Amino acid sequence: MTDLKKKLTGVLGFPVTSFNADLSLNLDAQEKNVDEMTKHPFCAIVAAGGTGEVYSMTPQEAVEVVRVSVKATAGRMPVIGGVSFNLPMAIYMAQEMEKAGAEALLVLPPYYINAPEEGMIHYFEQIGRHTGLPLSFYSRDWAAFTPQQVARLAERVPTLQIWKDGQGDARKYQRIMTAVGDRLAWLGGIGDDCAPAYFGIGCQAYTSSISTINPKMSLAIAKAGMTSDRASMMEIMGKYVNPLYSLRDRVRGYEVSAMKSCMDILGIYGGPVRPPLVDCKPNDIEDLRQLMELYKAF
């Protein structure tokens, strides 16, 4: 098992999953987009994650997205594959993604929203026992943990190396980081707009949606965060990031739909989203188009 903890600094790129008009996988576009993204110095990319619409895919499709992404990166950086659903499906995805060349796994919360702590730990333990890859956990939505719970999880699951926060509560996340220490690598994961808070409490990297449309901007955000360059950070947030995230907040699910629309506007194949997400409305696309003129000039 590789040790990624120290390698994950800066930005993890988060490619979308490309679909055709009939919502089938567009693997040619997927390969091309990941190839272009990984020409930039990200520390890793995450294929078939939340932004990659993993919950809309079959496990076999998610594995195929990882396989194509591994091919496209051509060894330039690690590929982390997203796994979830239920335990048998997560184990299948983990094992097949390992065969496909993934170097780690991002374990999203399982389907059941009221799972007890012991059940969650068992879920992670079993995934870890069935693959040789290091694990990252994505603490999002209902899957929120206390510092003590994270410490117990880290003790019970030796292959857990990375923690990705999706709660956006910097106060609580800092307490978790203090309680567990350097046992895990700490990532910011709820959005580019939270990067100032994440780097402010000591995260070593963050996962970026903006990496799909402007890799240089996401890397500049990370540089400003890691060097405590507040002036540069606030300029990027105010001019570019906050306006985009304000547009993304208009409709649930636009965190994916808006990024795909931005890609299309910029001449990068984004394509449609799968239900239950919805594509951006025409008036929202026009507002995104105006904002992308600023992004082109970055």
In a domain, 275, yes or no: no
- What's the CA gap between 153 and 183, in Å, rounded? 11
Per-residue pLDDT, 6: 87
Give tens-digit pLDDT for 12-56.
Answer: 999 999 999 999 999 999 999 999 999 999 999 999 999 999 999
Question: How does pLDDT run along the chain (298 residues), one tens digit per residue?
Answer: 668 888 999 999 999 999 999 999 999 999 999 999 999 999 999 999 999 999 999 999 999 999 999 999 999 999 999 999 999 999 999 999 999 999 999 999 999 999 999 999 999 999 999 999 999 999 999 999 999 999 999 999 999 999 999 999 999 999 999 999 999 999 999 999 999 999 999 999 999 999 999 999 999 999 999 999 999 999 999 999 999 999 999 999 999 999 999 999 999 999 999 999 999 999 999 999 999 999 999 9
- What's the CA gap between 103 and 30, in Å, rounded? 19
Indicate the SS3 state at residue 63: helix
Domain hosting residue 43, numbered range: 10-229
In a domain, 276, yes or no: no
In a domain, 263, yes or no: no
Tally of structural domains, the chain: 1
Whether the model clears a pTM of 0.95, i.e. scores above it, the answer is: yes
Per-residue pLDDT, 1: 64
Helix 147-156 / helix 117-129 crossing angle, nearest 10 deg: 30
- What's the CA gap between 244 and 213, in Å, rounded? 12
Give tens-digit pLDDT for 223-265.
Answer: 999 999 999 999 999 999 999 999 999 999 999 999 999 999 9
Tokens of 118: 């012991």
The amino acid occupying position 153 is L
In a domain, 273, yes or no: no
Q: What is the DSSP letter of 9?
A: -
Residue 174's CATH number = 3.20.20.70
In a domain, 235, yes or no: no
In a domain, 90, yes or no: yes
